[in-house]
Amino acid sequence: MEVSQFHFELPKELIAQTPLVNRTASRLMVVDRQTGAIEHRVFPDILDQLGEGDVLVLNNSRVRPARLVGIKEETGAQIELLLLKPLGEDRWEALVKPFKRVKEGTVVRFGEGELLAVAEEATEVAGGRIFRLQYEGDVEQLFQKLGEMPLPPYIREKLDDPERYQTVFSESIGSAAAPTAGLHFTRELLDQAVEKGVRIAYVTLHVGLGTFRPVMVENIEEHHMHAEFYSLDEENAEKIRSAKRVVAVGTTSVRTLETIAQKYGEIRAANGWTDIFIYPGYQYKVVKALLTNFHLPESTLLMLVSAFSNRDNVMKAYEEAVRERYRFFSFGDAMFIR
């Protein structure tokens, strides 16, 4: 299957640059995964799509302020790092800009020198390099002090409130980007779902480079996903196992659930690294309904959604979304596929 089959024309003005004042104020497109039939709703109507026995699966990962802007000690040049994942012993994988100015052994200083990053080998990913951090005290506190929220490159506007790029249920810090389908929920809306007999379950998947990395091959089967850490405890696994219908919120929840089911043949408590790549032809094992945002053309996320329904239905829904002026990407509107 060719990557060009997932291309669509998206006017730049449809890329949402800022979150809506009210998290639940977005629009909701409801799509029948079998017929492709489309309904245009508003997000609070998600309650009409949920019922007793459903388990709503949310990714509780929290975004780390992992964009660090520092100074190259040797020359004073500005260097930017985006920390992607810890490798142990204070070594981190990161994207670095400008990449050509940073060689093995380069030292980058942040703040008043509270944090130093020493460059090690380059990674296989373009723009990627390993860094060893040097600091005293709690490194997460230093990130909070020195770091910035790593907004996706298509968002040009400054974010006034960094919490708007966190879900209201975010808890486990570790992501380089938000699991954005969950941004639409408020505590009140989740409570209303519970009142209807819906149960809430949490998984953790720390969003990493896979969110930023485009598909660079024409044959999508040759694309390799960057591994991301996931975790599911027994309490939440039991909720999911007993569900009448598993409703995944976001592609990260999907990848966690399907990874565990594929590896163990069932949903169970587990943690590890996943590089699962879901595209048309994949047979879903756990997820029965999916809430997601509108994704980039030719992206692995669009391919995952297409696998849940089929490519024709999803691409027609995206064409409809463009015609109807839906807002796209992280701060955009939502799609529910049932």
With 80 as the cut, is the pLDDT of residue 229 above it? yes
Cα–Cα distance, 141 to 203 (Å, whole number): 24
Q: How far apart are CA 335 and CA 338, in angstroms?
A: 10
* Tokens (6 digits) for 86: 């810890």
pLDDT tens figures, 241-285: 999 999 999 999 999 999 999 999 999 999 999 999 999 999 999
Kindly tell me if the per-residue pLDDT of 122 is higher than 90: yes
Give backbone dihedrals phi and psi of 87, rounded to 5 degrees, phi first: -110, 0
Instruction: For the full predicted model, state whether its pTM sits above 0.85.
Output: yes
In the predicted model, what is the mean pLDDT of the chain? 95
Decide: 267 and 284 in contact? Cβ < 8 Å.
Answer: no
Q: What is the CATH number of domain 3-63+159-337?
A: 3.40.1780.10
Fold agreement (3-63+159-337, 67-146): no
Q: Which residues, other chains included, contact 236 with Cβ-Cβ below 8 Å and sequence gap of 6+?
A: 201, 202, 203
Return d(Cα 264, Cα 285) in angstroms, integer: 11
pLDDT of residue 212: 61
Q: What is the pLDDT of residues 155-205, one digit of tens each?
A: 888 888 999 999 999 999 999 999 999 999 999 999 999 999 999 999 999
3-state secondary structure of 291: strand
| Length of the chain in terms of residues written | 338
Please give the pLDDT value at position 255.
Answer: 97
At 126 the pLDDT is 82
Give domain limits for the chain.
Answer: 3-63+159-337, 67-146
Which CATH number among 3.90.340.10, 3.40.980.10, 2.60.40.10, 2.40.10.240 corresponds to the domain 67-146?
2.40.10.240
d(CA 54, CA 74): 58
Q: Which two tokens stand for residue 142?
A: 């230093």
Compute the distance between CA of residue 171 and CA of residue 58 in angstroms, rounded to an integer. 11
Whole-number Å distance between alpha carbons of 91 and 82: 13
Q: What is the DSSP string of 266-289?
A: S--SEEEEE-----TT---SS--E
Could you tell me the CA-to-CA distances from 315 to 5, 40, 94, 212 in Å, in that order? Answer: 9, 16, 33, 22
Provide the pLDDT for residue 213.
Answer: 73
Q: What is the mean pLDDT of residues 218-232?
A: 93
Q: Specify the pLDDT at position 210.
A: 66
Alpha-helix runs per DSSP H in the chain: 139-146, 187-195, 234-241, 251-264, 300-308, 311-323
Contact call for residues 169 and 60 (beta carbons, < 8 A): yes
Token pair in block for residue 77: 């040049």
Phi, psi of 36 (to 5 degrees): 85, 5
